[in-house]
Amino acid sequence: MFADEIRRAIEAASRIALPQVTAQLWRAFGDGHITEAEAERLSALIEARTLTGKAVRFAQPPSPAEPRSTEAGDTPQVLPGSSRRSVGSRPRTDASMERRRRWAASGRLPPGLAARFTLAEQAVLALVAAETTRRGDCRLAVGHLAAIVGVAETTVRN
């Protein structure tokens, strides 16, 4: 039930208001109001809204009563020779996902700044902040950062 309220808030929110909705989402997850699967699904919805600017509905299939829109911008176009890839890095193991979440939740980033980044990017920034605090600068290579945090090297470069 709480997940439905957040989903409606995501669909109704402007792109500028999405960081506040994101904060509500993770606060609800932290308080145990929504499950991890619901949180991931809602997070993907927020990310899709951030990228496209349009309301995207993942949680509910279209009802027969709703007319389908056939605007040119509604259907994704796949260019010839390009492969369809999902956005963001995906963990290969449960251990890497756990490392990523642990680093992201370490509290190194202020909430306003953290809301602008994905969970993987937050984890990388938290490690860079920890290294900078410990040594005065971060001398870890891109591959080493990725291995410690549990993300892909391209995510570290972002």
What was the pLDDT predicted at 87?
Answer: 54
What the block records as the tokens of 87 is 């956005």
What was the pLDDT predicted at 69?
Answer: 46
Q: Where are the domains of the chain?
A: 2-61, 94-157
Contact of 145 with 128, CB cutoff 8 Å: yes
What are the residues whose beta carbons fall under 8 Å from the beta carbon of 122, sequence distance 6 or more? 103, 104, 109, 114
What was the pLDDT predicted at 68?
Answer: 47
Per run of 10 residues, the mean pLDDT along the chain (length 158 residues) is: 85 86 85 85 83 54 46 48 53 75 80 86 90 90 89 89
Contact of 61 with 26, CB cutoff 8 Å: no
What was the pLDDT predicted at 29?
Answer: 83
What was the pLDDT predicted at 137?
Answer: 92
What was the pLDDT predicted at 124?
Answer: 92
Which whole-number Å values give the CA distances from 15 to 47, 49, 75, 104, in the listed order? 10, 7, 21, 23
What was the pLDDT predicted at 141?
Answer: 92
Nearest in space to 101 (alpha carbons), one of 124, 67, 132: 124
- pTM reported for the whole predicted model: 0.41
